[in-house]
Amino acid sequence: MVDLAMERVLKWQLMPRLMMLAVTILTYQAVHWFMSLPDPSIQQSGLVSICMGALTGCFAVWLNNERDK
């Protein structure tokens, strides 16, 4: 039973999809937080830039991985 469940997790690629969902939600919340700030600082804009860069990198790796299969 455990082998069947693990086979489904690997076949459906649940972990990469959950990780992409988590990074997307993190970036979405960071952008909305930044847009709600009355006077954002350089450090705050740097944080949002890093989140956007992480999302872009994760998305590129994910698409490249899907293409190779």
Predicted confidence (pLDDT) per residue in 3-56, tens digit? 777 787 777 788 888 999 999 999 999 999 999 999 999 999 999 999 999 999
Residue at 21: amino acid letter: L
Do 69 and 52 touch, CB atoms closer than 8 A?
no
Residue at 67: amino acid letter: R
- CA 52 to chain centroid, in Å, comes to 9
Local confidence band at 1 (pLDDT 50, 70, 90 cut-offs): confident
Kindly list the domain boundaries of the chain, sorted by start residue: 16-68
Question: Residue 69 above 70 pLDDT?
Answer: no
Question: Residue 66 above 70 pLDDT?
Answer: no
- Tell the residue number behind the tokens 């919340």, with chain if given: 29
